[in-house]
């Protein structure tokens, strides 16, 4: 539905502005038409700086840098920029117009419907996206020197799926080019936190491998249909990127091939030296893993899927565009039409806001700041204050961390005001007693804090013991030691053997007890004891009597890990323990088995 918007000029250069598509903090984009001889016309997208920022040199240079960079990129999977123009002091760039949706609404829709994306679709999207990124990374100038292009903002909202099945990368506006001072400054962080590599968040020097990391996040989210690092606040998102253990993708998509899970872990390594060197390498690894189970989709198959999933949205948008094209007798003073885009992020919002339709993975990151948690360790195993993990679906309206209230909101009610003090007659002079008392109080408080800190330093780290549960039914195998004769030590046949003093004649020799072998299931769990101890040291010791139940598949993999009591499963400690034991390797067997152990802190 076309709705009235703010007034805008009807033309920019040779382009007639038909409708406004979106408005952001820096600029706005329009649906535009260029007409030619004999009824020729073509649709474009025109992006310009907002009028009140048109004279700001910083924004002008950013738009010019974006246009210059994009003009060098000519690839089927990159949104094309055709022109940089200026009319009446208004800078604008002209881009290709595309029909379709970005990857973000598709992920939301599939997650809301609890569906899954076909491996063939994922392979087709990754193939086109990785080809486009590799092309941009490999761009060179006319002298043959690499331009060092890094996109820095590879996110689901910047991966566009056209109605014809072509995948396009959008928005090279914050891309980094080697030695280009107009784009960025040293230490500047640009992009969306939830899709940044750790070195990018630190403001360190970056290269193409940050785009590999971001593409790995997109692939993870296509498979899991959950946000990998996005949290309720930028602080929690930042910490999730820097320290959150990345869950095995098979926890949310059990049918993921092992090769694909390994490729994802490689791309999402926090050390750039351990990642794939290029986007092409990562794309090839994903395709090889997927091809083993499903052929990657062609453009035609992707097109059919998009048309099916978004038939109503595409039809509605097509009607809006046709209405804008065929409008007649338009007064130049009339307001510009606004074409509503269900896919676009609305002004004033951010795609990383709470999104019930696209939840996050389970988190072990506490919402309490590190400084507060460091001075308030758990008093016992049952104290989990400040460590409650939000549920997978973000249906809470507030966080569960430490809240700070103003003085006027404390006491008996939020609207309670401070009591009025009695007026005291002014003194003729100031006494030195109260400053001395204040200094003494500060000294006592500092000494108390030092003693608390000293006591914390002297406390030994928590150690978790793993013992078998009484109801454990995993069989243990025992095998008697074989009795093997040694011919070299047999006595000669013509002589009687010497009498055995320990075993006189007429008595049978004592039988050796069978050698008991360790239970391989318990040994597999014990192998991860150091990881469980690390969880206890970071998130507090487990309360007494905690039991861990692991369901082992016939392939020897942890199919499910659960803690008892059940309320521990969604705590940072419980999530950390499940992450650790989720990687345990058990013996293969003909049937699924269930192993349970008890954790106790000492």
CATH number at residue 280: 1.10.510.10
Is residue 23 situated within a structural domain?
yes
Do 154 and 78 lie in one domain? The reply is: no
Which is more confident, 105 or 447? Answer: 105
Do 177 and 224 lie in one domain? The reply is: yes
Is residue 492 situated within a structural domain?
no
Do 107 and 217 lie in one domain? The reply is: yes
Do 175 and 235 lie in one domain? The reply is: yes
**So what's the pLDDT on residue 198?**
94
Q: What is the average per-residue pLDDT within 141-170? A: 92
**So what's the pLDDT on residue 485?**
46
Tell me which residue range forms the domain holding 74: 2-98+309-339
Task: Report in angstroms the alpha-carbon separations of 560 from 287, 563, 565.
Answer: 28, 10, 16
Do 128 and 85 lie in one domain? The reply is: no
Do 86 and 222 lie in one domain? The reply is: no
Q: Which of 7-21, 102-116, 503-517 has the highest mean pLDDT?
A: 102-116
**So what's the pLDDT on residue 267?**
96
Q: What is the average per-residue pLDDT within 346-360? A: 51
Phi–psi pair at 479, nearest 5 degrees: -130, 130
Do 140 and 87 lie in one domain? The reply is: no
Do 120 and 178 lie in one domain? The reply is: yes
Which is more confident, 385 or 436? Answer: 436
Number of domains in the chain: 3
Query: Which among 306, 275, 295 has a CA at the least distance from the CA of 211?
Result: 275
Indicate the average pLDDT of the chain: 76
Is the pLDDT score of 130 beyond 90? yes
**So what's the pLDDT on residue 429?**
52
**So what's the pLDDT on residue 459?**
56
Q: What is the average per-residue pLDDT within 275-298? A: 95
Is the pLDDT score of 206 beyond 80? yes
Helices H / strands E in the chain, number of each: 15, 17
Is the pLDDT score of 225 beyond 80? yes
> Judging by beta carbons within 10 Å of its beta carbon (0-12, 13-18, 19+), is residue 446 exposed, middle or buried?
exposed
**So what's the pLDDT on residue 78?**
93
Q: How confident is the model at residue 387 (pLDDT cuts 50, 70, 90)?
A: very low
**So what's the pLDDT on residue 366?**
62
Which positions are annotated as active-site residues?
153
Do 127 and 86 lie in one domain? The reply is: no
Q: What is the average per-residue pLDDT within 285-302? A: 95
How far is residue 350 CA from its own chain's centroid? 16
Do 64 and 147 lie in one domain? The reply is: no
Is residue 505 situated within a structural domain?
no
Do 133 and 280 lie in one domain? The reply is: yes
**So what's the pLDDT on residue 32?**
92
Is the pLDDT score of 374 beyond 70? no
Q: How confident is the model at residue 59 (pLDDT cuts 50, 70, 90)?
A: confident
């Amino acid at each position: 539905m076309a709705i009235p918007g703010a007034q805008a000029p009807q033309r920019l250069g040779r382009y007639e502005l038909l409708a406004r598509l979106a408005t952001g903090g820096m600029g706005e984009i329009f649906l535009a038409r260029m007409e030619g001889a004999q009824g020729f016309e073509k649709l474009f997208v025109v992006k310009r700086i907002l009028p009140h920022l048109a004279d700001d040199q910083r924004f002008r240079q950013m738009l010019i840098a974006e246009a210059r960079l994009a003009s060098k990129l000519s690839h089927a999977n990159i949104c094309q920029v055709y022109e940089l123009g200026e009319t009446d002091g208004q800078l604008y760039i002209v881009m290709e117009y595309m029909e379709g949706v970005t990857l973000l609404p598709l992920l939301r829709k599939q997650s809301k419907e609890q569906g899954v994306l076909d491996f063939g679709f994922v392979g087709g999207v990754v193939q086109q996206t990785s080809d486009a990124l590799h092309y941009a990374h490999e761009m060179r100038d006319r002298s043959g020197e690499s331009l060092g292009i890094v996109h820095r903002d590879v996110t689901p909202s910047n991966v566009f799926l056209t109605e014809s099945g072509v995948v396009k990368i959008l928005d090279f506006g914050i891309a980094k080019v080697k030695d280009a001072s107009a784009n960025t400054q040293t230490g500047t962080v640009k992009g969306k936190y939830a899709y940044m590599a750790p070195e990018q968040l630190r403001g360190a020097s970056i290269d193409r491998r940050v785009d590999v990391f971001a593409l790995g996040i997109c692939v993870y989210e296509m498979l899991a249909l959950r946000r990998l690092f996005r949290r309720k606040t930028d602080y929690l998102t930042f910490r999730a990127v820097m320290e959150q253990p990345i869950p095995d993708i098979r926890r949310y998509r059990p049918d993921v091939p092992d090769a694909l899970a390994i490729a994802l872990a490689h791309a999402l390594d926090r050390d750039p030296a351990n990642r794939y060197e290029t986007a092409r390498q990562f794309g090839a690894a994903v395709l090889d893993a997927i091809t083993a189970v499903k052929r990657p989709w062609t453009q035609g198959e992707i097109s059919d899927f998009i048309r099916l999933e978004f038939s109503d949205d595409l039809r509605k948008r097509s009607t809006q565009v046709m209405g804008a094209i065929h409008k007649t007798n338009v007064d130049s003073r009339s307001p510009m039409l606004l074409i509503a885009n269900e896919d676009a992020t609305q002004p004033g919002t951010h795609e990383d806001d709470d999104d019930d339709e696209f939840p996050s993975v389970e988190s072990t990151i506490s919402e309490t700041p590190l400084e507060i948690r460091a001075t308030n360790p758990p008093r016992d195993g049952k104290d989990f204050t400040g460590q409650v993990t939000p549920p997978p679906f973000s249906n809470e309206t507030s966080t569960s961390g430490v809240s700070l209230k103003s003085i006027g909101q404390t006491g008996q009610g939020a609207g309670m005001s401070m009591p009025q003090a009695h007026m005291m007659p002014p003194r003729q002079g100031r006494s030195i007693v109260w400053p001395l008392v204040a200094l003494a109080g500060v000294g006592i408080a500092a000494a108390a804090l030092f003693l608390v800190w000293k006591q914390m330093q002297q406390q030994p780290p928590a150690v978790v013991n793993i013992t078998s549960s009484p109801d454990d039914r995993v069989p243990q195998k025992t095998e008697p030691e074989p009795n093997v004769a040694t011919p070299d030590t047999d006595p000669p046949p013509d002589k009687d053997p010497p009498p055995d003093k320990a075993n006189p004649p007429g008595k049978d020799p004592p039988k050796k007890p069978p050698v008991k072998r360790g239970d391989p299931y318990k040994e597999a769990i014990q192998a991860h004891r150091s990881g469980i101890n690390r969880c206890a040291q970071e998130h507090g010791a487990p309360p007494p009597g905690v039991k861990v139940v692991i369901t082992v598949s016939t392939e020897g993999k942890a199919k499910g890990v659960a803690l008892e009591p059940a309320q521990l499963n969604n705590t940072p400690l419980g999530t950390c323990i499940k992450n650790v034991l989720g990687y345990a390797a058990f013996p293969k067997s003909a049937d699924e088995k269930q192993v349970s152990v008890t954790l106790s802190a000492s």
